[in-house]
Structure 1
């Protein structure tokens, strides 16, 4: 099973840069796209709806902002829109495809500008709620792969210039500590780091220049029991579709067809 996660920061721009032509060559089973930046009904070009995929979108209430999408080759058993966090769900931050024993989520976490205390507090509120949610679903009889832009890094190795990142949202001590708790208290796994420990693997460049100032904020986080299925991972940087790069992960797992 191949899953691709990509934060588009505008799906129209990604299309113009050749993202959907590239997708046709990747043989992905599931594609998770965050920050599509447009309502589904405005997507007129058929390239947004490849014939071999079932496409699902969760728009933000505010036009032309946020929004997530998930494309699946296999028909899912169910689609879940939102996390039950009313205010945040209005912002189009999460969509999930459920198969028999596996759920794949597409997440766009809130961001905050530097020194914006109110926005950072709201981001913290989201992650408090999300931690509780992730703790709760550990007891479900299914596995999870949660793909997306988490808008924070785990360790210093995940930022190209840690000194310059000091004090910035996404690199705060409490955010790194949240990630530590996710992995060590709840037992979730950073799939990419299971197969790649290199220090120069970044997925986001705030200034759009892949030669400098990289951050690794895009993850595929899997439930602990799914760890043995992790097979291969790469950040695709040969072609630039925006200020984020796609994260490609392969799992030794075959999705079943949905039964109704």
Structure 2
């Protein structure tokens, strides 16, 4: 099984680039998209030619903001939106597909904001999302993928010291949130397969960051411990463009 996760930073924008060619080359069994920035019908219209996939979407109530989508070759047993917590469930950030032996949860974790104005909300979101995952794990293992909006360790961003506790995505609150995911038994597949490799999945559009590889690893595929032995490959696919994030892949 090949799973791809990609923050596309606008599905309509990336569709005008090489997205469909990339999709053909990547050839995933399951594709999880974040930050679609479109309503459900707009996503369906944009991806109408992906007829060999079942498409599921979860859009934000605010137009042009957030949003997630799953394309799956195999029809899931069921698909659910959101966590079931009112304060979290209007931004289209969680989409879950159930298969026979596991769940796939596609997530776009909230950014803490330029002035860290959403940091306290983010702390609660992380805690509630972890509870949501652990509740599902009681039934079957979980694959959680998406943009977690945090660099977990100094190895996961270019300028760790200058960003620590100053920049959204690298505060101790957010690091603690990721620690809690890992300490609960979820396995960071890329770091499991590449313990010391420095590789980023996101680069700001400013300052030619991607050309200079001044980036962050904030996109993750986490799996329940019981699935970790089945991981064959976990990779960051930096040669795919069209977004400020690149796709990440898991082969099991």
Bin for the TM-score computed over the shorter chain: over 0.9
**Secondary structure of 1:25 counterpart:** helix
Cα distance in 1 for partners of 2:46, 2:69 equals 15
**Equivalent pair of 1:49/1:55 in contact (CA under 8 Å):** no
1:232-243 equivalent positions in 2, closer than 5 A? 232-243=233-244
Aligned to 1:54: 54
**Equivalent pair of 2:7/2:245 in contact (CA under 8 Å):** yes
RMSD over aligned Cα atoms = 1.6
Cα distance in 2 for partners of 1:187, 1:239 equals 31
Cα distance in 1 for partners of 2:107, 2:20 equals 20
Cα distance in 2 for partners of 1:37, 1:46 equals 12
Structure 1: state its 5+ residue gaps. 252-260
Structure 2: state its 5+ residue gaps. none
Greater RCO, CA 8 A, separation 6+: 1
Aligned to 2:7: 7
Aligned to 2:171: 172
Q: CA deviation at 1:14?
A: 1.3
Cα distance in 2 for partners of 1:135, 1:42 equals 33
Cα distance in 1 for partners of 2:52, 2:198 equals 34
Deviation digits for residues 161-201 of structure 1, max 9, x if unmatched?
112212212111122122222212x1110011121234421
Cα distance in 1 for partners of 2:108, 2:93 equals 5
- TM-score computed with the length of structure 2 as normaliser: 0.93
**Equivalent pair of 1:114/1:169 in contact (CA under 8 Å):** yes
- TM-score computed with the length of structure 1 as normaliser: 0.90
Cα distance in 2 for partners of 1:164, 1:176 equals 15
Asked if 1:130 corresponds to 2:124, the answer is no
Cα distance in 1 for partners of 2:88, 2:230 equals 31
Asked if 1:144 corresponds to 2:142, the answer is yes
Cα distance in 2 for partners of 1:48, 1:88 equals 29
**Equivalent pair of 1:207/1:213 in contact (CA under 8 Å):** no
